[in-house]
Chains A and B, each alone.
Chain A
Amino acid sequence: MNILEFEKLVAELDDTIAKARQAAARESRDALADFTELEAERDQLLREFFEGLTPWDEVLLARHASRPYTLDYVPLITEDFLELHGDRLFGDDGAMVGGFAQMGGQSVLLVGQQKGRDLKERQKRNFGYVRPEGYRKALRLMQTAAKFRRPIVTFVDTPGADPNVSSEERGISESIARNLREMSLLASPIVSVIIGEGGSGGALGIAVADRVIMLEHSIYSVIAPEGCASIIWRDPTRGADAARAMRVTAKDALALGLIDEVIPEPLGGAHRDPEATAAAIKEAVIRSIRDLSRLTVSRLRAQRYQKLRALGRFAEEGLPDNAPPAAAAVPASV
């Protein structure tokens, strides 16, 4: 049973609890006892299932149809958000949003990848596949923020960059590459939060940061597990095996030393309690910005480059592996 099948059982329990709650509101104390007991039972089921989540479950959760998207979090974590549009070159990409935000009493630039909830919005957001205009808009806004030393917060949630003809024509590769280069030099603190799908270069295009944080049930991957499976095993249905082999979960990324922090999600995942998830994100982001703001610009940039340079595991004749000692404790398979 995967997480989505399990959730059907939970939905039935939720339904029963809701009915019991209504009954309790109407009348007796017995009904009250009824639904608290049911709730405890449901939570116990959730806890047990979530302890045994497979990497594939994590993939399904990261892509969950009810999972909060960037614009769901924005009103929950900011006091004000002024969305700004366009790359000043060609157009405006609905799969990337950005603007000026007030968060915890300070000005920050917020950019994020955006998926759609219903068909109409999905089309508007290009199903979360970011086009060159999206990366260029994000960079334009980030450079504006850096010019005035405003911290930058990015929310990552994309299956990948858009592979269509029009994106090739307008230089999708160049737009990502430029972001990678320029983000490494920006004079503001950058905090990136992977909130759902961290899909390959399309995700990295806004995730070169001083602090990279993942939500507990988000994923971060060099290629979609299905794509990996179809290349390696010529079988796209083996996504679950590929997800395991590539170690796409937040826990894996942290253990491998590739990200800085994992934000725990409410029981059952972010979609069961977006407010609590948002509060946890807000706390982590504000804390990270506060830490980074203590650094001078030159120190900040030097530290960011050192961090990027340290990414990778290799060996060199006559020298031990470059793996940090903490990472040696990671079990061979998770």
Chain B
Amino acid sequence: MPDWFRRRSTHTDNGTSTSGAAAAAPDATPVALLDAASAVPEGAFTKCQKCSAILYTKDFERDLKVCAKCGHHHRLSAGERVEYTVDEGSFAETNADLIAVDPLAFPDYAEKLAKGRRSSGHLDSLLTGTAAVGGQPCVLAVADFAFMGGSMGSVFGEKFARATDLAIEEKLPLVVFCASGGARMQEGLFSLMQMAKTSAAVAQLAEEKIPYVVVLTDPTTGGALASFASLGDVILSEPGAYVAFAGTRVAQQAAQNQKLPPNYQLAEFQEEHGMIDRIIPRRELPVTLARTLAFFGVGTVTTAEGSDRTLPQTPGEIVSSNRNGSQ
């Protein structure tokens, strides 16, 4: 789906309450846009946002938008995330028609929503549905950073809560991919309350013994991290993701003259401090999720190394050619 890429804006509107350099950074930029005079067809090459390596867009996409030179994991839209994660054709969206109402008549909010809808192709910042990952059925929720910085407003909170309802009803695990700058300022206190709403919904999952798995992706900050994103039975993260309570600007102000650790506020820092279970490269996420879900349910994990991880019953089969799914 090469169109995903060209459609994406280079700047993302950040409607979230924690702003920082990481949250405001443009995504990978098609080289052709930088050099309009060249004969290169638009979008044929992509420049890595981190190491500036020039990559064939085709290769870049085959690599799931991970830089082949430096391993930088570029941000994905919710659609790309679904495409890269779930078993082909298994995703069925739910509650796609929930839409924000601008409850405070906040300056410019209506325009920001319209822009978010255009750039993401969705009505708000959380995509939900049912899917299978490596043969394991689940309820899936994916935040879209391209929609107002993945910010959490009333629609986000309601869709999240309905996803937990569905998980309880269908007795399916809930898998959440987070990419969010936190609460959406434009809905004021309504947005803050989504932290309580989503966390209380997670509590209901726990009461019903429904597994809840979180994958932190770049960036996960503020009110998202201080609510549902920190409450997974299992918390995974992509490498190098910005994962922090405070935005970089606030953190730097707070630190003043203190020297910050080099990996400060990255997934690696959080892992070091015991806040996340594992950092998993993008390509290995589907099989890792499948293995995780298999622990909670019943299923067969088949890896390229053989069938040594096969479990007794087989309602869903996990197939992966990935050799690095286990370490």
Contact = CB atoms under 8 A, between A and B. Distances in A.
Interface of A: 161-165, 167-174, 176-178, 180-182, 184-185, 200-201, 204-205, 208, 220-223, 227-228, 230-232, 245-248, 252-253, 256, 258, 304-305, 308-309, 311-318, 321, 323, 332-333
Interface stretch (B32-40, B138-146, B226-234, B286-294): B226-234
A165 B260 contact: yes
Contacts of A162: 254
A60 B246 CA distance: 24
A333 B246 CA distance: 30
Contact of A220 (B107, B154, B183, B189): B189
Interface stretch (B43-51, B166-174, B193-201): B193-201
Given A173-B229, A246-B189, A314-B155, 17 more contacts: A168-B269, A171-B230, A173-B225, A176-B230, A180-B195, A185-B203, A200-B17, A200-B192, A201-B183, A204-B196, A208-B196, A222-B187, A228-B185, A245-B188, A313-B154, A313-B187, A333-B105
A313 B226 contact: no
A165 B258 contact: yes
B60 interface: no
Contacts of B190: 256, 258, 311-313
Interface in B217-255: 222-223, 225-231, 244-246, 250-251, 254-255
A228 B105 CA distance: 16
Best-surrounded residue of B101, B187, B223, B245 (most CB of chain A within 10 A): B245
25 contacts: A163-B245, A163-B251, A165-B260, A168-B245, A168-B264, A173-B230, A173-B245, A173-B275, A177-B227, A177-B228, A180-B195, A180-B227, A200-B183, A201-B223, A204-B196, A223-B183, A228-B185, A230-B19, A232-B185, A248-B188, A308-B197, A311-B157, A312-B157, A313-B154, A323-B101
Nearest to B96: A317
B15 to A, nearest CB: 9
Interface residues of B, number: 67
A23 to B, nearest CB: 50
B183 A185 contact: no
Given A163-B251, A201-B226, A221-B189, A181 B231 contact: yes
